[in-house]
Structure formats: structure tokens, C-alpha cells
Amino acid sequence: MPIAQILTSGVELGFNQLLKLDPDSQARLAKLSGKSLQVSVKELPFPLLFNFSEQVEVGAVIESNEHNQAPDCLIELDLNTLPKLQDSSQLTQLIQQKKLSLIGDIYIAQTFGDLIKELDIDWEEQLSKYTGDVVAHQTFSSAKSLFAQAKQELEKAATNIGTRMTQADAVAVKPIEMALFSEQVSDLRSDAERLSARVQRLEQTLKDLKG
């Protein structure tokens, strides 16, 4: 069973479906028309090749073939770095940190990142095609308010736990206590270094006297 082709057809389908849901994505995609981008993720058994036209074609690079023309841009990274591709302003920094390797036209990688980052899908509008405007609006309003409430409760709980751990139960250390402890460790380190230097001088004096 061609597993690579199952994966790439899924990625391709998902990608193109998402692009179709954002009417403005065509203009951003047009900037990449005729270009190719190879993405090698270390954890994947094969690189992915993206070819851009009025939609995105996704293929698997089966083998490195000397007869294949190089893609316009080739990037290598690991799975942790992959989400950071969305922010094209970070690309240079990632390259300097050696988290990303890039060969070819950096503009293609940047534009690809922008293509994903700037996806703006009106999910309420999409739902309304199936349920009608009123139901879609009510569903999304309820979901937004539930989400905001859950977020508030989570923040409150985090604050309560933190307060309890540092003050009520004294299980965790307060920040000021931590700072004081760090200072004491630094002082101790300096004292140890001074003592070590003094011992070395005394050893040298003894050697000179014997000599």
C-alpha cells in the first residue's frame, strides 16, 4: 500500500480545502505560482514537495534522484520548528540558530509561511450554509462565550493554586526567597574560587622554598 501517497493526498486535500474557504487566499497563492518548495521534516520518512499553481499539489520525494531538477526552495527542519514557519519574520533567526536549513529562494519560504498565517476563514459563514444564519450565529456566540468563560476559570484556578502553594501551604518557594538563595550561592562560589587561588599560591611558595 503506497502509504506516502495516502499521506500526501490527505495533506493536499486538506490544504486546498482550507484555501478554498478563504476567498483572499488566491491572491496570496498567485505569488507562488510556478514555484516548488521541498520541506524535509526530520521526523518524517520522506520530504514533501509542494508545487504551486491555482491550487497546491503535494507530492512525496521518493528518492533523491540526481536527474531531478532541484526545487526552487528547499528547507530542512524538525517537527518542533514547523509551526514557527508561519511567522516569516522569524526565518532568518531560525536559520542563524541552526533550527532551519534553507537552500534556494527565501522569498518562497516566507510567502508560504504568510499563506498559512494569513488564512482567514469565516467559520460562522461556512456553518450557515448547512444550518442557516440564525443557528450558525447562535452556535458561534455560545461557543465564544463558553470559551471566554472557560479561559477565565482556568486563569482563576491557576492564580489560586499559585497563591496556595507559595503562601498558604508554603510548598513552593516565593520569588524573593529564590532570588536571595541564588545570591547566597553566587557569594559562596566566589568565596570558593578565592580560597582555591590562595591554596595554589601557598603550594607554589612551598615548592619554591623546597627548590
**Which residues of this chain interact with another protein, rule CB under 8 A?**
1-2, 4-6, 8-9, 33-36, 49, 51, 53-55, 57, 59-62, 65, 67-69
Q: How far is the CB of 67 from another protein (least distance, A)?
A: 6
Q: How far is the CB of 54 from another protein (least distance, A)?
A: 7
Amino acid (one-letter) located at 135: V
108, 81 contact by CB (below 8 A): no
Between 36 and 110, CB nearer to another protein: 36
Between 16 and 128, CB nearer to another protein: 16
Between 33 and 182, CB nearer to another protein: 33
Between 36 and 88, CB nearer to another protein: 36
Q: How far is the CB of 46 from another protein (least distance, A)?
A: 9
The three cell numbers of residue 27 are 491572491
How far CA 56 is from CA of 13, 30, 131, in Å, comes to 9, 11, 30
Q: How far is the CB of 49 from another protein (least distance, A)?
A: 8
Residue 119's closest CA among 52, 29, 25?
Answer: 25
Cα dihedral 80, 119, 18, 61 sign: negative
Strands of 36-41's sheet in order across: 56-60, 48-52, 36-41, 73-77, 100-104
Q: How far is the CB of 59 from another protein (least distance, A)?
A: 5
d(CA 165, CA 163): 6
Between 48 and 91, CB nearer to another protein: 48
3-class secondary-structure state, position 69: coil
Between 39 and 100, CB nearer to another protein: 39
Q: How far is the CB of 96 from another protein (least distance, A)?
A: 30
CA end-to-end distance (rounded Å), the chain: 82
